Structure 1
Amino acid sequence: MGNPYREIFTTPGAAGLAFTSSLARLPQAMISIGIITMLVQQSGLYWLAGTVAGTFTLTNALIGPVVSKLVDKRGQSRVLPFVTLFSIAMLLTLILAAYLRAPAQLLFILAAFAGTMPSMPAMIRARWTALFRGKPQLHTAFSLDTVLTEMAYIVGPPLAIGLSMSLFAEAGPLVAVVLLAFGVTAFLLQRQTEPKVIVNSSGNKSSTLRIPSLRIIVLALLLMGVIGGAIDVGVVAFANEHDWPTAASFILATYAFGSMTSGLTFGALKISLPIEKQFLIWILVTAATAVLPIFSPNVYVMAGMLFFAGMSFAPTMVIVMNLGTIVVPPAKLTEGLTWMTTGISIGVALGGALSGLIVDNFGVRAGFGVPIVAGVILVVMALVSLPTLRAASGAPEKLIFP
């Protein structure tokens, strides 16, 4: 049996896409945590740091689909340079305002404007889809993409924190901005893989969220985000409770490493099972492994539990993203992929907030109840929506109006 990853890289433009996408996605993993670290060092106010970073993240999640809708109409090379330049200008102004100790209101406004940064994960997945739509290689390409995303979130946050702590407070977000400029430029220079603009012959300008099966996918990703965000906060609290705060970093690294390991393996497999059944199976696995952290008696067991829990994440993401490329019309692909990214981003924020609230009021172990509840809801949703996904996975749906 041939190596499916070798098959991918023999495709013209694929190697360049993999390399430049790694650079382009790294700033997304650095900017939010960089803002938090910068503002905490400057002001000592955790609420200010968290809410300014949250403003950036929320705005980015909500504006991202609008930017991507424009990309579907005009093309990546015509839209991304202007949107990225505006976001970079706002980020630099935010960093300068923070350095000058500007009023909090100005920081919130600048963070909101900086949130216009394009959703690079959606742009990258749109290119993989353009290369391999309808081919078995798309499964492997999305597996590779998920692994590269995990690597970005392993490298990015520690890099941003380390720069701000070791050099000066603004160093983390400043380097992230430089990487954003360099990464997006390198990505856009890969013209060979840029998706062609597809004219929407129906003239329908409504949101892809009008597609019922896409709403199911976005909701599934939101609940997966809740699981991941709650586990992140729960692990930090768990490490503090066991008087080993720095252990949180290597525990969460094992979570990501588990996902990377399974993602690479999963991408090499040839699976003939219908995609909606794969969706249900991996949702069940994700929900089952979300129970594991609550049984951990110490840091070492927690790391092991999260390694196994992480192994469910990448395959589930690959299946969900594959399903998304099937149900979303080609002319609206980037917008649809961005809504998926938005779903998981909002879920991470919601999961972290819920877990933190429960930990503060009921203790660390209770915080790990959030992923369990989210997993149960995820399973129920998957079972109820299976007929809709089965009907939609045969061919792209048309937009349905009430």
Structure 2
Amino acid sequence: MEPATTPAAPPEPGRRPGNAYLRLFAAPGTRAFTAGNLIARVPMGMFTVSAVIMIAGSRGSYALAGAVTATGLAATAVVAPFTARLIDRYGQARVAVPATVLAVLGSLALLLCVRHDAPDWTLFAAYAATATTPNIGGMSRARWAHLYRADPRAVHTANAFEQAVDELCFMTGPVLAAFLCAALFPEAGTLVGAVLLLAGMLLFTAQRATEPPVAPRVAGQRSRSPLRTPGMPALLAVFLATGAIFGSMEIVTLAYVDGPQAGPVMALQAFGSFLAGLVYGSVRPARDVRRRLLVCLAAMTVLMSLPLLAASYSGSLLALAGALLLAGMATAPTMVTGMSLVQRLTPAAQLNEGMTLAVTALLGGISAGAAAGGWLVERAGADTAYGLPVAAGAAALALAAVGVRVRRALP
């Protein structure tokens, strides 16, 4: 069946904003690909936690477990944009399924290497093989952008919904992984995650009617990377600094709470973002997306100071939990607005690659923020280290402000 090329009809005038999500799923096929998207997305929050529990439990070394997962993250940063480029060139179904199979085989290889006490280097090689995992969130956003290309408000709602799904999966994924590893056996989280990823991707890619069409290639003409698009490098720098907020906040909170309450307390930040994302999707999209991004980043920087104040002056775990819930409420609006800018800057035929570059920059920032947060915790204490997310937020705001001034030609 050929992918649909007719855009969804714009919403009827006079409908209430509260119906935005009902209108979003009125288009045929949207519920089916969203179901596959959800199933395949939950493991994204499971794999790292599962790998750490599995490796640390077997080898008795959190340092080894951290090094293995860091290697996988580095490999993903290199491989993911190329996978996305192939998806844009040949289509989601043709590329995403074999790429997912390779990633699942990497996860199963890691499981077997841990189970049978294989040499340490095999763990690095197996986990690096999972880097071929396609960016399922980017593919889903590309479908929404194609279906509702005549309706900017619906695309805005879809981006908010996808961000809320991200937060939901990163709330439930680690909890599910930890439960499976503790209740069944140490490898259970990785095994279940691999099965969910493959099953969800098969269901997602089977929905051919909503798959964006592949743009025809012109003989002798090479498409240039979205990195060369004016404004994109500055925007990726903003995503890098934003990732540092999340990475540093996570490691500092783990060190500050230092107990079984750490997981639920950290989940409150994601829950705040989830709620804000759903609300943000029902409001009108910004006329000036650049200015909206600056406002969102400023709000995020201010709200990220709340955990610092709670840790430094209160010392109460309840106060910190409330501060993290409020701090998270700036995350989804910022990410939705940033992704909207990526979509405007990136040619439609390269949308998966453009969004994957943004996610890669975000992951790089998370990794750097976690490393910097751990370093500062050891030297200055966890309460002081809560200043690092605030500094990262200020850096993201400054980078966005400079980028907006330099690139007045941004759409």
TM norm structure 2:
0.92
What is the aligned partner in structure 2 of residue 195 from structure 1? 212
Which of 292, 295, 300 does residue 281 from structure 1 map onto? 295
> Partners of 1:276 and 1:165 in 2: how far apart?
46
Matched, 1:110 2:105: no
Which of 222, 227, 235 does residue 209 from structure 1 map onto? 227
Shift of 1:273: 3.3
Contact (CA 8 Å) 1:147, 1:263: kept in 2 or not? Answer: yes
Shift of 1:271: 3.8
Letter in 2 for 1:311: M
Alignment of 1:374-385 (within 5 A): 374-385=392-403
> Partners of 2:147 and 2:103 in 1: how far apart?
28
Contact (CA 8 Å) 1:33, 1:53: kept in 2 or not? Answer: no
> Partners of 2:221 and 2:386 in 1: how far apart?
47
What is the aligned partner in structure 2 of residue 247 from structure 1? 261
What is the aligned partner in structure 2 of residue 270 from structure 1? 284
What is the aligned partner in structure 2 of residue 20 from structure 1? 36
Residue 58 to residue 272, structure 1, CA distance change in 2 (3 Å): closer
What is the aligned partner in structure 1 of residue 112 from structure 2? 96
- CA distances 1:18-64 after superposition (whole Å, capped 9, x unpaired): 22211111111111111111111111100111111111122112200
> Partners of 1:99 and 1:271 in 2: how far apart?
50
Shift of 1:17: 2.4
What is the aligned partner in structure 2 of residue 399 from structure 1? none
> Partners of 2:160 and 2:295 in 1: how far apart?
17
> Partners of 1:205 and 1:271 in 2: how far apart?
30
3-state SS of 2:132 partner: coil
4+ aligned runs moved over 3 Å, structure 1: 387-390
Superposition RMSD in Å? 1.4
What is the aligned partner in structure 1 of residue 85 from structure 2? 69
> Partners of 1:330 and 1:259 in 2: how far apart?
28
Shift of 1:257: 1.2
> Partners of 2:284 and 2:407 in 1: how far apart?
21
Contact (CA 8 Å) 2:107, 2:130: kept in 1 or not? Answer: yes
Which of 363, 368, 374 does residue 381 from structure 2 map onto? 363
> Partners of 1:95 and 1:271 in 2: how far apart?
45
Matched, 1:258 2:272: yes
Which of 138, 143, 150 does residue 160 from structure 2 map onto? 143
> Partners of 1:261 and 1:272 in 2: how far apart?
19
Matched, 1:348 2:366: yes
Residue 176 to residue 192, structure 1, CA distance change in 2 (3 Å): same
Matched, 1:169 2:183: no
Which of 313, 327, 330 does residue 345 from structure 2 map onto? 327
Letter in 2 for 1:144: F
- CA distances 1:249-305 after superposition (whole Å, capped 9, x unpaired): 221121111111111111001145311111111111111112111111211111111
Letter in 2 for 1:356: G
> Partners of 1:89 and 1:123 in 2: how far apart?
21
Letter in 2 for 1:9: F
Structure 1 unpaired stretches of 5+: 394-402
Which of 134, 140, 146 does residue 130 from structure 1 map onto? 146
Matched, 1:41 2:88: no
- CA distances 1:215-259 after superposition (whole Å, capped 9, x unpaired): 12221111111101111111111112xxxx122122112111111
Structure 2 unpaired stretches of 5+: 1-14
Letter in 1 for 2:341: L
Letter in 2 for 1:67: T
> Partners of 1:340 and 1:251 in 2: how far apart?
27
What is the aligned partner in structure 2 of residue 295 from structure 1? 309
Which of 175, 181, 187 does residue 198 from structure 2 map onto? 181
3-state SS of 1:54 partner: helix
> Partners of 1:45 and 1:370 in 2: how far apart?
27
> Partners of 1:33 and 1:203 in 2: how far apart?
44
> Partners of 1:280 and 1:376 in 2: how far apart?
11
Contact (CA 8 Å) 2:46, 2:177: kept in 1 or not? Answer: yes
Residue 27 to residue 389, structure 1, CA distance change in 2 (3 Å): farther
- CA distances 1:47-90 after superposition (whole Å, capped 9, x unpaired): 11111111112211220000010111100111111111111112
Residues paired across the two proteins, number: 389
> Partners of 2:164 and 2:75 in 1: how far apart?
26
Residue 389 to residue 127, structure 1, CA distance change in 2 (3 Å): farther
3-state SS of 1:11 partner: coil
Matched, 1:85 2:91: no
